[in-house]
Structure 1
């Protein structure tokens, strides 16, 4: 874990515009993140110091109307911040999305306690957070069973079960989880969990081929008490319909940023190999055009994140699917442009190829997206 720096970060004033905020974040990426990218990827270094400084710059409050200076739910700006990070290091972009998603849950919850005590700290990264919705999203899509169950007790719930992997976790990190109650009227309930809660424990995961710096653990609940004040939603279907477009749209920062980074890798390769790279299928200009088209469509969808219609959600899922497919295409092209140099252990090209497969398999994965789109279009 990195030590927290004591020097000031060149920040932006609360009245600064999005372009100024993006520029400040870009400067932070170049200064503090870029020198660590190879270690994050190869050694599993967790970029905690960077996350906290990015939070102080406002990177994680842009989509939270109650926490930012504009008082608006600016999903597009939050996506852009994740793009800036992911273009350099998508492991860090992924945990940035985890942070955004966790705050998104609290922002849209009915818990005044969590909005007062947890949300401001999540918004500025004083507290770090995660999303444990991979299993529930697959449960909603009839792909797998829900892994957490809970007994109703006086003042809350007692939760038991295990989740195989949840990212961006630590000893006192928060995450949103869904469990099903037992008894005569079983129903799903969503709550905010703290890793320091009694009965909760983290276990190491097997080593992954990428994203090792994302602090991913198995989560074990041994009769963990969750007070009513920490419940995000009891009427869960209505809550999920409200948060799901934003949840998926916020993921787009990973793919869009990765694609941008791949294009930069291609440009660098073309400084010496343009004469032969011209024979490859995908060229810089083609991918730049596809990226700009994707950005425009994504930002347009982000203007109405609370549209709960199935038609709108289908558009969001299709955008997410397109982002995954373009990420795979761009990363393959980046490696082919770089050639043998891109195959070196510390090369950006091979790292971005591995990162692109994560974009394609993280929930909702390509197969999950296609299954849901088929369901929606069948009605």
Structure 2
């Protein structure tokens, strides 16, 4: 599907029109396959491409690929996550991969390649979980790059990377080693799943994320040339995009939380007389979510603010979103009672989705570690 398939009055005329079209997809075709995504591992390629054609995963990019509107990108992700957290997560994967491509400044990754990605014609993700943990001193780099004529040879194994498949690609990072095997800097690049030297391995079944196109990647002497390079060295590039990278994840948290609140209201007429004795009631959670959403939208006005204070605020909002989604999903289960304990229940699925919001990189513990580190660095000597 491409832009020609989208009615002209719903293309990119206004944010409200985009959101209305995204909502229609989320509550229509996507809602019809959400059980298959969750329970059977169905990868919603067609649904993702419909969302891509509407501009739902490129709104944050600059013209001509998008609007440069981070708030719209977050709201679109929240609309989808409200119905299916797994698909909302894949929207984030697609969105940040596009962010890498545009921010790279590499002509080979921009132009037609970026337009194809922005429209959903091509799909991809991000293999940056390990590098983000490395920068936080949680684990070592798993990919190593050896300089060769015209580029690098990259080898190593990543245990899981999402929104992948045949013809897909993802942003990745490797440590560049010297003749002694020591990492001297990092290089970031576009990793193409179909490239020679890349092996995709099936992962064990994932709770709440079975249909996310998640694979283990094994790289053996994968050649990376200038057409694939996003940043070399990578650290300044990461410092420039880190706030936007984390901020975009807030769309997942907002959507999953809103879906949980909606499930509470759905049983209020029947069970409100007894649910009133529960903590975390829907009106209270809604007020907290609305305040968080307003805060996130304010941050979305300056997503590339390089200051440490801004990044701390983004990390804190992301942590708040994860914690709120956990509370809301658990409360929704208690509000629904036995019916929410059925495996077919959207509440049961959302509990698992909220767990993913809390542990996907950066996980709550990672967020708190970074907030503590950055806060300590900002203190006077």
1:271 positional shift? 2.8
Distance 1:110 1:54 in 2: 25
Distance 2:284 2:296 in 1: 18
Distance 2:42 2:8 in 1: 25
1:355 positional shift? 0.4
2:11 touches 2:18 (CA, 8 Å); kept in 1? no
Q: Is the partner of 2:265 in helix, strand or coil?
A: helix
Structure 1 residues 271, 36: closer, same or farther in 2, change over 3 A? farther
Query: If the length of structure 1 is used for normalisation, what is the TM-score?
Result: 0.96
Match of 2:119 in 1: 124
1:143 and 2:143 are equivalent in the alignment: no
1:163 positional shift? 0.2
- Structure 1 portions without partners, runs of 5+: none
Mapping of residues 124-203 of structure 1, within 5 Å: 124-183=119-178, 186-203=184-201
Mapping of residues 12-31 of structure 1, within 5 Å: 12-31=9-28
1:29 positional shift? 1.3
Match of 1:321 in 2: 319
Match of 1:311 in 2: 309
Return the match for 1:37 from 10, 34, 39: 34
Match of 1:254 in 2: 252
- Structure 2 portions without partners, runs of 5+: none
Q: Is the partner of 1:219 in helix, strand or coil?
A: strand
Return the match for 1:222 from 211, 220, 236: 220
1:52 positional shift? 0.5
1:118 positional shift? 2.0
1:163-214 Cα deviation digits (max 9, x unpaired) = 0000000011010000011215721000001101101010011111211000
1:228 positional shift? 1.4
2:12 touches 2:18 (CA, 8 Å); kept in 1? no
1:15 positional shift? 5.0
Q: Which of structure 1's runs of 4+ aligned residues deviate more than 6 A? A: none
Return the match for 2:45 from 43, 48, 51: 48
Distance 1:281 1:61 in 2: 39
2:66 touches 2:118 (CA, 8 Å); kept in 1? no
1:82 positional shift? 0.3
Query: If the length of structure 2 is used for normalisation, what is the TM-score?
Result: 0.95
Q: Is the partner of 1:52 in helix, strand or coil?
A: helix
Structure 1 residues 40, 337: closer, same or farther in 2, change over 3 A? same
1:19-60 Cα deviation digits (max 9, x unpaired) = 111011101112210011111111111111000011111111
Return the match for 2:341 from 340, 343, 359: 343
Match of 1:63 in 2: 60
Q: How many pairs does the alignment contain?
A: 373
Match of 1:94 in 2: 89
1:67 touches 1:123 (CA, 8 Å); kept in 2? no
Match of 1:273 in 2: 271
Match of 2:354 in 1: 356
Structure 1 residues 362, 12: closer, same or farther in 2, change over 3 A? farther
1:157 touches 1:228 (CA, 8 Å); kept in 2? no
Distance 1:170 1:94 in 2: 16
1:200 touches 1:222 (CA, 8 Å); kept in 2? yes
1:49-87 Cα deviation digits (max 9, x unpaired) = 0000111111111001133464xx211110001001000
* Cα RMSD (Å): 1.5
1:110 positional shift? 2.5
Distance 1:32 1:370 in 2: 38
